Structure 1
Amino acid sequence: MHKQRVVFVHGLGSFGASAWPKQHGMALSYDALFLRRHGFDPVAEPMESDVAADVGIVVASLVDSGGGHVVAHEQGAISAMLAAVERPDLMHSLTLVEPACLSLTAELPATTFHRSLMEPLFDVRNQLKDADYEREYFRRAFSAEASGPDTPEARRSARRLRLQAPPWEAPLHIVPGVPTLVLTGGWEPLYEEIAGYLEDTGALRRVAAGGHRPQDSVDGDRIIRSFVADVVRTRSVKVS
């Protein structure tokens, strides 16, 4: 039996399969691909983010299978949505986890506040050392301390973070007709505001415990799997 493709698009931190530890088992039922976005490599030096390249990676992962389901986290949701705009014919469903789709809600209060907090840091990012930028980013975005051992991997991660473009610059649009789930952790007004906007435009909205990574919780994983399975069943009924 032909397995439907499910493509996973990571956010800012871990990437590839390591970004989706609870979803590895979906490979038993689906043709699961765990992507690495542009500039995310375990060995090579990080590069400036390139949203167009990320969109190309997502689209290419769907073309050879004739389409599939995309599950994206945080900044990865930007390239996933833009891929849906570019090739809606390939997008069987779209799951957005804590999506950093700030350009959709640019005029709303939580997004406006977040941008006012983060934009001054983005403006001086090329003047800061990687570790200093990472420390200040975590303080402003998550009210947390950036922590971890001083290893080559940690240093690459800090540099990669500093090289990411502001998420509010992406020219995002809603794609009518693509079944969409938005999953948040219920901890941060910014992501709830974005989720509310997406819900108002037709998305299914769900909340699961887990902070910024609700996909790692039992409920979050169940919600993702159930949504994809429901879309698969619905598409199968339509085809038959």
Structure 2
Amino acid sequence: MRQERIVFVHGSGSFGAAAWRTQHVLAGTYDCLFLRRHGFDPVAPPVPTDFGADVQIVVEALGSGGHLVAASQGAVSAMMAAVDRPELVWSLTLAEPACLSLTRELPATRTHIELVSNLFARRWELDDEAFLSEFVSLLYGVPATRPVTALARRGAARLKLQAPPWEAPLSIVPGVPTMVLTGGWEPMYEEVAAFLASTGAAHHQLGGGHKPLDTPEGMQYLREFLEHHGGKA
């Protein structure tokens, strides 16, 4: 019997295996694929978001079926893939999902959109570093680290090209076991989690800020969720 597959879908920062350092330990038990979404490349120039291309990458990685684990903006393409091909997704774990098109009319999400949409409207007037600094300040309340390496500068350029997550064509995932983990620090993510819980998802609020899956509790919840919905290989 082959190892069960887990497909990991990163957010807007680190990508590939670098985005999942805490989850590498699962590679001893599972067939782990750490994706690079469309336009995320360590060398090639960044390109704008392509939700359809992201979905294709996720579906191809699932092969004949497996588990999906996604963080932040990666949850958008993971959910879209699960809607398109639910028969391939044995379980769906979303850490701090930025699925804002589902909750755009709710208070915390609406406030965030009003705040950040102004930045996106002005992004072509700003250089990459200025956009990064203002984006990080708006989301986290701290100044961004100046990008000094070529990789960091590409990351800043890539961030400016990303489509706002509230523009994603999302809908509810039908019949796929779903778990949402949040850090309890940002009302917007709790609002998304509560919405998904109202549709049947399990929701666990943990510590860890924007990385609840990296906490010991988050990893324990993930292991148990994978085991409960596994055995289909």
Contact 2:91 2:176 in 1 (8 A): yes
The one-letter amino acid of 1:44's match is: A
What pairs up with 1:41-52 in 2 under 5 angstroms?
41-52=41-52
Q: Could you tell me the TM-score, scaled by structure 2's length?
A: 0.97
Query: Cα distance, 1:225 vs. partner?
Result: 1.7
Task: State how far apart, in whole Å, the 1-side matches of 2:78 and 2:89 are.
Answer: 9
Tell me how far apart the structure 2 counterparts of residues 149 and 161 of structure 1 sit (CA, whole Å): 12
Contact 2:178–2:201 (8 Å) recurs in 1: yes
* 4+ residue segments displaced more than 4 Å: none
For residue 194 of structure 2, what is the aligned residue in structure 1? 196
Return the letter of the residue paired with 2:30: Y
- Paired with 1:221 and 1:176, the residues of 2 have a C-alpha distance of 25
**1:7-42 deviation line (CA, Å, top 9, x unaligned):** 000001110011011110111111110000011111
Aligned match of 2:54: 54
**1:172 & 1:51 partners in 2: Cα distance?**
10
- Deviation at residue 149 of structure 1 after TM alignment: 5.0
SS at match of 1:154: helix
Counterpart of 1:230 in structure 2 is: 228
Asked whether 1:95 is paired with 2:122, we answer: no
Structure 2 residue aligned with 1:129, among 123, 127, 130? 127
Gaps spanning 5+ residues in structure 2: where? none
User: Unpaired runs of 5+ in structure 1?
Assistant: none
Secondary structure of the equivalent of 1:173? coil
Q: How does 1:75-224 map to 2 (within 5 A)?
A: 75-148=73-146, 150-224=148-222
Aligned residues: 233
Task: Give, in whole Å, the separation in 1 of the partners of 2:224 and 2:159.
Answer: 32
Partner of 2:70: 72
Asked if structure 1 preserves the Cα contact closer than 8 Å seen for 2:55 and 2:80, the reply is yes
Deviations 1:58-88 (A, max 9, x none): 011113xx11100000110000000011111
SS at match of 1:232: coil
Q: Is the 8 A contact 2:37 2:54 kept in 1?
A: yes
- How far apart are 1:232 and its partner, in Å? 1.0
Give % identity: 57
Measured after TM superposition, the shift of residue 148 of structure 1 is: 4.6
Q: Whole-Å Cα distance in 2 between the matches of residues 59 and 53 of structure 1?
A: 10
Paired AA for residue 29 in structure 1: T
The Cα of 1:214 is off from its aligned counterpart by 1.1
Q: Which amino acid aligns with 1:68?
A: G
Matched residue, 2:16: 16
1:109, CA displacement in angstroms? Answer: 0.2
Q: Is the 8 A contact 2:147 2:153 kept in 1?
A: no
SS in 2 for 1:186: coil
In 1, distance between residues paired with 2:37 and 2:173?
Answer: 22
Provide the secondary structure at the position in 1 that maps to 2:93. Answer: strand
User: Secondary structure at 1:95's aligned position in 2?
Assistant: strand
Conservation of the 8 A alpha-carbon contact between 2:38 and 2:50: yes
Letter in 2 for 1:126: W
Counterpart code for 1:116: E
Separation in 1 of the partners of 2:206 and 2:146?
26
Alpha-carbon separation, structure 2, partners of 1:11 and 1:149: 18
